[in-house]
Structure 1
Amino acid sequence: MAMKVNEVMTPVPVAVSPDTSLSEVGGLMRQHGIGDVLVVHEGRLRGLVTDRDIVVRAVALQKDMSTAVAEVCSTNLVTVAPGEDADAAVRLMREHAIRRVPVVEGEHPIGMVSIGDLAVQRDERSALADISAEPPNT
């Protein structure tokens, strides 16, 4: 029987409001050992910001770190429902060349599934699974 997204996702993802500063977001990423944070307004998913977004859309353009995350986050999001097969998340990642997919019920985020989560689920002996299981570099 195929695993469902809610069996492999990371529940309760870190989320911030659109007006949160990039500096605060970076601090949360460091604190939690993650590379992505959801942008949520009134309980609804509005965006996703990654460590790469901060570098490419803010640092490289010499934006101030007090800039609101809404200015650099991705808003054209691909999402998956918790009850979908994990294979559906894999297909979405391949189709859209992305490494993480927010898990939503309606527009409300409840988790995040990453390529690392899926690597562990599919083959816990793979190099990506090993890397994903390691604690973050801080």
Structure 2
Amino acid sequence: MTTLKDIMTSDLTTTDAGATLKEVASLMREQDIGNVLIMDGDQLRGILTDRDIVIRAVAYGHDLGSAASDYASGNVLTLDSQTDVQAAAEQMAQRQVRRLPVTEEGRVVGIVSLADLATRTGGGADEKALQGISQPTI
């Protein structure tokens, strides 16, 4: 059984809730990444993607000095590192998420993306479940 721990990226990029949109965007550019976890100490408060910055802030002409946490997705789905990749793919499809923070004992220890499930599972994630991610629900 392949678990999330087997395929997760453990090199996380995080920031605190007080970071600005500009600071987070600069961090994304410097690290060549598309998401940053918003943390309050050890607690995950949200996830902000490059798309969130563009669609929720820039498109409306909002100030890039605004708090990044105001534009982050809250109530983020997380799963334990021992979760089977198939179960994770099904949860991601059901909740329509492309990035999944991975936890151990309630602490974020990694992240798995849709691309990770598609390329690192060695067939462990059902293609049908992966196709359900980001598909419109009827």
Do the structures match in fold with TM over 0.5? yes
**What's the CA shift for 1:123?**
5.2
Cα distance in 1, alignment partners of residues 106 and 74 from structure 2:
13
Equivalent residue letter for 2:73: S
TM-score under structure 1 length normalisation: 0.84
Cα distance in 2, alignment partners of residues 63 and 8 from structure 1:
37
Aligned to 1:84: 83
On the 8 A contact 2:7/2:116 being kept in 1, the answer is yes
**What's the CA shift for 1:105?**
2.3
Equivalent residue letter for 1:122: T
1:32 aligns with 2:31: yes
**What's the CA shift for 1:107?**
3.6
TM-score under structure 2 length normalisation: 0.84
Equivalent runs, 1:13-92 vs 2, <5 Å? 13-92=12-91
Runs of 4+ in 1 over 4 A off after TM superposition: none
Distance change >3 Å, CA 46–CA 107, structure 1 → 2: farther
Cα distance in 1, alignment partners of residues 81 and 31 from structure 2:
22
For the aligned residues, what is the CA RMSD?
A: 1.4
Structure 2 gap ranges (5+): 124-138
Report how many aligned residue pairs link the two structures.
123
Equivalent residue letter for 1:74: S
Aligned to 1:110: 109
**What's the CA shift for 1:113?**
0.2
What do residues 97-119 of structure 1 show as CA deviations (whole Å, max 9, x unaligned)?
11111112244211110011111
What do residues 10-56 of structure 1 show as CA deviations (whole Å, max 9, x unaligned)?
10310000010111111111111111110000111010001111011
Equivalent residue letter for 1:117: D
On the 8 A contact 1:45/1:107 being kept in 2, the answer is no
Cα distance in 2, alignment partners of residues 33 and 54 from structure 1:
15
> Percent identity between the aligned chains?
37
Cα distance in 2, alignment partners of residues 123 and 3 from structure 1:
9
Cα distance in 1, alignment partners of residues 38 and 9 from structure 2:
16
Aligned to 2:132: none
Equivalent residue letter for 1:51: D
Aligned to 1:131: none
Equivalent residue letter for 1:90: A
Equivalent residue letter for 1:8: I
Aligned to 1:4: 3
